Amino acid sequence: QSALTQPASVSGSPGQSITISCTGTSSDIGGYNYVSWYQQHPGKAPKLMIYDVSNRPSGVSNRFSGSKSGNTASLTISGLQAEDEADYYCSSYRSSNTQVFGGGTKLTVL
């Protein structure tokens, strides 16, 4: 069961916007609107930031947004802040009745 493909790292300056991509196949991202994004700070448990492609849980800043096109999902963070520096993981339902995560992207705020 291969993982979804994310860039290993991205960076941006405070106030800028960045986008993290997550590429899968028609059996996962492309076939279902069940893509989620998680934020994980060092030593902490993951936190859900986006679910069902573009929905934000209560309490998550509207600076975080999600989208999908074909087999690729994206997480955009606007107005970058120092506290956004973390690892980000995408996840999708897969047609084999399983769930798959991406390899993770380390976001550095310069």
Partner 1 sequence: EVQLVESGGGLVQPGGSLRLSCVASGFPFSSYWMHWVRQAPGKGLVWVSRINTDGSIINYADSVKGRFTISRDNAKNTLYLQMNSLRAEDTAIYYCAKSLAEGGQGTLVTVSS
User: Which parts of this chain interact with partner 1 (CB under 8 A)?
Assistant: 1, 3, 36, 38, 40, 45-46, 48, 51, 57, 87, 89, 91, 97-104
Q: Got the DSSP string for 51-69? A: BTTTBPPTT--TTEEEEEE
Amino acid at 79: G
Place of tokens 């976001």: 107
φ, ψ of residue 95 in degrees (nearest 5): -60, -15
In the complex, least distance from residue 87 CB atom to partner 1, rounded to whole angstroms = 8
Nearer of residues 24 and 102 to partner 1, judged by Cβ: 102
Closest approach, Cβ 13 to partner 1, in A, equals 26
Strand boundaries in 24-104, DSSP class E? 35-40, 47-50, 64-69, 72-77, 86-94, 98-101
Least distance to partner 1, CB of residue 31, Å: 16
Nearer to partner 1, 15 or 57 (CB): 57
Which CB sits closer to partner 1, 62 or 97? Answer: 97
Least gap, CB of 100 to partner 1 (angstroms): 6
The answer to whether the beta carbons of residues 14 and 77 sit under 8 Å apart is no
Pick between residue 13 and residue 58 the one whose CB is nearest to partner 1: 58
